[in-house]
């Protein structure tokens, strides 16, 4: 790459918690970047394994690495700390158990630069059971440059799939730092990217797409995204509710409103039936809204109410 194109510094924020088996590969991939004007902020979030020591060893070898050791506060808090400490003009996030292609930064930055975009997005590979999983799907992006409203309406809300994950996650994006002004990840909740991403996109004007797979995302059984317990699902419900309220307020689209409320009701009933009875008042409030807008058939509503009443008696 022409050195003149490296005038802007990139801050790479790596949140780290007990990933000693994967961390060296992650940091090595960062140091191998063809775009060399970066700082790597390694935020050790109270690891109890050797992750902190690995970070310190790398910092001694390369002055672009800065290490922060803090008490455990979760992924969101670690990322937020990194944002607060970042000196770069652009920011990206890499999870400590993942790794990136040598041209990850170069191609994302070049896309932003050429297209005068605020955020660049790349595709990714998944790694499961120690092997590379290529989804073998063609990207559903049909253009290289997407305006904010188009992205929010026609891409972010897609049905869950490999490529819809491209939209939702934080780790496959290069972001102009000013898009993160007064915006932080929600602390204390799982599914932090789902809470975060629509607010981030709303702060951009233009997004650019890099069709190459430049990020290697590791699926682990202990990871947040694979945790299917009740608290995890409740946090997912809260994240979806946050996004639904965002869309309802910004776009006031009746079809989308109906879709959002139906989805919210299904999740509420599922959580309630599984024992989350503290949601009773919220569930009843949602029922009233559903009834007032005739969003479900009387048969479906009666069935749901029957299951609800049966659950209350348990």
Q: Would you place residue 53 in the very low, low, confident or very high pLDDT band (cuts 50, 70, 90)?
A: very high
Higher-confidence residue of 114 and 280: namely 114
CA torsion angle for 166, 239, 221, 266 (degrees, to 10)? Answer: -110
The per-residue pLDDT for 21 is 96
Position 172 in a domain:
yes
254 and 177 within one domain: no
Q: Are strands 90-95 and 173-176 parallel, antiparallel or unpaired?
A: antiparallel
Number of domains, the chain: 2
| pLDDT, average across residues 252-270 | 74
Residue 187 pLDDT more than 50? yes
Position 138 in a domain:
yes
The per-residue pLDDT for 196 is 96
The per-residue pLDDT for 300 is 60
Last residue of a domain, one of 220, 255, 289: 220
Which of these ranges, 2-11, 91-100, 163-172, 242-251, has the smallest mean pLDDT? 2-11
121 and 27 within one domain: yes
Last residue of a domain, one of 189, 220, 251: 220
pTM of the shown model = 0.85
Position 78 in a domain:
yes
The per-residue pLDDT for 65 is 98
196 and 175 within one domain: yes
127 and 234 within one domain: no
Residue 224 pLDDT more than 60? no
265 and 178 within one domain: no
Position 225 in a domain:
no
70 and 18 within one domain: yes
Position 16 in a domain:
yes
The conformation of residue 229, written as its DSSP 8-state character, comes to S
SS3 184: coil
The per-residue pLDDT for 111 is 97
Distance CA 51, CA 70 (A): 12
Domain containing residue 252? 230-312
The conformation of residue 58, written as its DSSP 8-state character, comes to H
Position 123 in a domain:
yes
38 and 108 within one domain: yes
Q: Check the CA dihedral 149-262-160-185 and report its sign.
A: positive
CATH number of domain containing 51: 3.90.550.10
CA distances from 312 to 128, 193, 273, 283 (A): 40, 33, 8, 12
Higher-confidence residue of 9 and 230: namely 9
117 and 236 within one domain: no
| pLDDT, average across residues 74-97 | 97
Residue 251 pLDDT more than 70? yes
Largest CA distance in the chain: 70
Neighbours of 57 (CB within 10 A): 14
SS3 track for 253-282: CHHHHHHHHHHHHHHHHHHHHCCCHHHHHH
Instruction: Residue count of the chain, please give it.
Output: 314
Which of these ranges, 45-59, 76-90, 282-296, has the smallest mean pLDDT? 282-296
| pLDDT, average across residues 219-234 | 68
Q: Would you place residue 226 in the very low, low, confident or very high pLDDT band (cuts 50, 70, 90)?
A: very low
| pLDDT, average across residues 90-111 | 97
Position 77 in a domain:
yes
Write the CB contacts of 292 (distance below 8 Å, at least 6 apart in sequence).
none
Specify whether the CB–CB gap between 257 and 266 falls below 8 A.
no
194 and 263 within one domain: no
13 and 111 within one domain: yes
Distance CA 186, CA 170 (A): 13
163 and 276 within one domain: no
Distance CA 105, CA 101 (A): 9
Last residue of a domain, one of 198, 220, 242: 220
41 and 125 within one domain: yes
Instruction: Enumerate the H helices of 218-253 as residue ranges.
Output: 230-251
Residue 268 pLDDT more than 50? yes
Specify whether the CB–CB gap between 92 and 39 falls below 8 A.
no
Q: Would you place residue 83 in the very low, low, confident or very high pLDDT band (cuts 50, 70, 90)?
A: very high
């Amino acid at each position: 790459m022409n050195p003149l194109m490296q005038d802007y510094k990139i801050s790479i924020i790596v949140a780290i918690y007990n990933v000693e088996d994967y961390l060296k590969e992650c940091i090595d991939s960062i140091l191998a970047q063809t775009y060399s004007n970066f700082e790597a902020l390694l935020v050790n979030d109270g690891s109890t394994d050797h992750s902190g020591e690995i970070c310190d060893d790398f910092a001694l070898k390369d002055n672009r690495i800065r290490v922060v050791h803090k008490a455990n506060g979760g992924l969101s808090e670690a990322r937020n700390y990194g944002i607060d400490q970042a000196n770069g003009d652009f920011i990206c996030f890499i999870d400590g158990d993942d790794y990136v292609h040598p041209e990850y930064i170069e191609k994302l930055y070049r896309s932003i630069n050429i297209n005068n975009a605020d955020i660049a997005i790349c595709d990714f590979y998944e790694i499961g059971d120690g092997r590379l999983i290529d989804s073998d799907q063609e990207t559903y992006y049909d253009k290289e440059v997407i305006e904010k409203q188009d992205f929010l309406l026609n891409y972010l809300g897609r049905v869950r799939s490999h490529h819809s994950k491209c939209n939702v996650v934080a780790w496959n994006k290069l972001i102009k730092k000013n898009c993160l002004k007064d915006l932080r990840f929600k602390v204390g909740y799982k599914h932090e990217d789902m809470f975060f991403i629509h607010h981030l996109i709303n702060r951009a004007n233009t997004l650019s797409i890099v069709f190459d797979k430049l990020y290697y995302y590791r699926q682990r059984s202990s990871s947040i995204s694979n945790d299917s317990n009740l608290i995890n699902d409740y946090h997912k419900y809260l994240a979806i509710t946050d996004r639904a309220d965002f869309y309802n307020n910004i776009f006031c689209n009746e079809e989308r409103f109906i879709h959002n409320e139906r989805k919210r009701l299904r999740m509420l009933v599922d959580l309630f039936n599984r024992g989350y009875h503290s949601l009773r008042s919220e569930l009843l409030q949602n029922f009233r809204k559903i009834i007032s807008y005739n969003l479900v058939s009387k048969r479906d509503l009666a069935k749901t109410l029957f299951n609800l009443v049966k659950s209350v008696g348990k």
